[in-house]
Amino acid sequence: MTDNKSVFIKTYGCQMNVYDSERMSDTLAPLGYAAADSPESADLVILNTCHIREKAAEKVYSELGRLRVMKAARAAEGRETLIAVAGCVAQAEGEEIIARAPVVDMVFGPQTYHRLPELIDRVRAGERPAATEGQAPARPKVVETEFPLDDKFDHLAAPTETAVRSRGVTAFLTVQEGCDKFCTFCVVPYTRGSEASRPVARIVEEARRLVAAGVREITLLGQNVNAYHGTDEDGRPVGLAGLLARLSELPRLARIRYTTSHPRDLDDALIAEHAGNPKLMPYLHLPVQSGSDRILAAMNRRHTAADYLDLVARIRAARPDMALSGDFIVGFPGETDADFEATMDVVRAVDYAACFSFKYSPRPGTPAATMDGQVPEAVKSERLHRLQALIEAQQTAFAERLIGRTLPVLFDKPGRLAGQIVGRSPYLQPVAVMAPSSLIGEIADVTIEAALGHSLIGSLAGEPAAARRSA
């Protein structure tokens, strides 16, 4: 028997956090928790946090300040609200969150959210000190930030078909977590732990459930996804290329993507899979971070700019229509004007379809945070402006080169205009078309007519091929 309760989950940051939030919802559903539209209407509020971006923790504390007011107002009305902080800020800050924000009842890291039912029980089972008038009763605080020895994926509830259908025709699927690279700017090894890969059979089974519920495109997730090293049903090792080949056997699965990659782990087998697997989209996110060998060494990236450019050349030789995106950090400690110009040279050489670029900001506990040569903020801002102008010009040029071409588009939602639907090109761009909503969930050929900023406008080149409808 379950109670009728509701949960509101606010997700910060990466796609893996989106996946984790969905799985938290799946874990709570058997307990009677339905999705709430707002924190004010929820019995449980979870902030699923990210520690990658600048001032990530402060944004969480600011949100907790608002939730404190909300929780007190609900308590005055005799309604109870539990507040939880999850994810990478929770992993990094732990007890400090409880100390700075007493409104929080639970803190748990990304490796322990499968224990949510137990954590809720532990909070509710504790003795409650008397409450001050107008305030919520004080509760025991639960902090779970140890890396468990068991695999959290073994314990997660499977999403219901209704839950999957509500999430649309595209889905994320985590196949690998953690990172062993220890880039000097990055907190991931400390918040997500060492690299761990899920067994092939469990991934295929989860993908099969997603496809059965109407998902047509799956994006495989991992902090270092191309370091995937799972095992098959016979205990044999399988890399990402082998996993992609297995998933491609699912009949109704039309498209596969994966992110995020490290250049050192993109091997020949994976390049060959891009060449020979039509379900694998010709769009690859391949971060390099800097074009300066000196800065790459300081970042502990363990590759050079020439290594990266050679890899790009081999990928494009195997798949000539491949488009690339990347990540760049400007103003890393010690970065000179010459180092920055080397980064600009790499961007010009690759000619990206899209990129993410950021000013370096120190992350507590990482080696780079204490390095000499911290770059002044004004210099970082000027370099970022120049880099983003170049990237924006490349992205615009790439989109304009698609005008006149016919691309397969997977439609996933209604558009902003009456009679309009929107889908994604193979290169992840939104594509808007005037077409019937019955095409949502289908792939249709679209002739691209215009490029508007970060989206495309087109018209149907014809009805979806029968083979696509029955694929």
Cα–Cα distances (Å) from 166 to 22, 96, 197, 210, 336, in that order, read: 11, 36, 28, 11, 49
Q: Report the first-to-last Cα separation within the chain, whole angstroms.
A: 41
Cα angle 221, 224, 226; round to 5: 85
Query: What are the distances in angstroms from CA 35 to CA 38, 46, 174?
Result: 9, 11, 22
CA–CA distance, 140 with 40 (Å, rounded to integer): 22
Q: Which two tokens stand for residue 110?
A: 């990304």
Residues 6+ apart with CB under 8 A from 260: 222, 223, 224, 225, 285, 287, 327
* Residue 46, pLDDT score: 95
CB-side exposure of 333: number of CA atoms within 13 Å?
A: 18
Q: Which residues pair with 258 in a beta bridge?
A: 220
Query: DSSP class of residue 280?
Result: B
The pLDDT score that the predictor gives to residue 1 is: 40
DSSP 142: E
Q: What's the token pair of residue 451?
A: 């490029």
pTM for the full predicted model: 0.83
pLDDT, residue 138, reads: 52
Q: Could you count the other beta carbons within 10 Å of the beta carbon of residue 166?
A: 12
Reduced to 3 states (helix: H, G, I; strand: E, B; else coil), residue 431 is strand
CA dist 287 and 236 (Å) reads 30
209, 141 Cβ separation under 8 angstroms: no
Give the model's pLDDT for residue 200: 97
Tokens read off for 100: 């700075």
HSE-up of residue 465 (Cα within 13 Å, Cβ side)? 7
Q: Coil, strand, or helix at residue 401?
A: helix
Query: CA-CA distance, 243 to 231, in Å (whole number)?
Result: 10
CA dist., res. 249 & res. 156, Å (int):
25
**Chunked mean pLDDT (size 10), the chain, 471 residues:** 80 85 89 92 92 73 92 88 90 86 90 85 65 50 72 64 74 92 90 89 94 95 94 96 98 96 96 97 97 98 98 98 97 98 98 95 90 96 98 97 97 95 97 96 96 93 48 37
Residues linked to residue 230 through DSSP beta bridges, in sequence order: 238
Looking at the chain, the number of H-run helices and the number of E-run strands are 15, 21
CA dist 23 and 33 (Å) reads: 13
3-state secondary structure of 127: coil
What is the C-alpha to C-alpha distance for residues 385 and 340, in angstroms, rounded to an integer? 12
Ramachandran assignment for 301, one of left (phi > 0), alpha (psi -120 to 50 degrees), beta (any other)? alpha
SS3 content of the chain, % helix, strand, coil (to 5): 40, 25, 40
Q: Which sign, positive or negative, has the C-alpha torsion 83, 27, 226, 10?
A: negative
pLDDT at residue 116, rounded to an integer: 87
**Interior/surface letters 420-455, b for 16+ CB within 10 angstroms, e for the rest:** ebbbbbbbebbbbbebeeebbbbbbbbebeebeeee
Residues 243/279, Cβ–Cβ less than 8 Å: no
Count Cβ atoms within 10 A of the Cβ of residue 111 and give its class: 0-12 exposed, 13-18 middle, 19 or more buried: buried
CA distance 283 to 318: 13
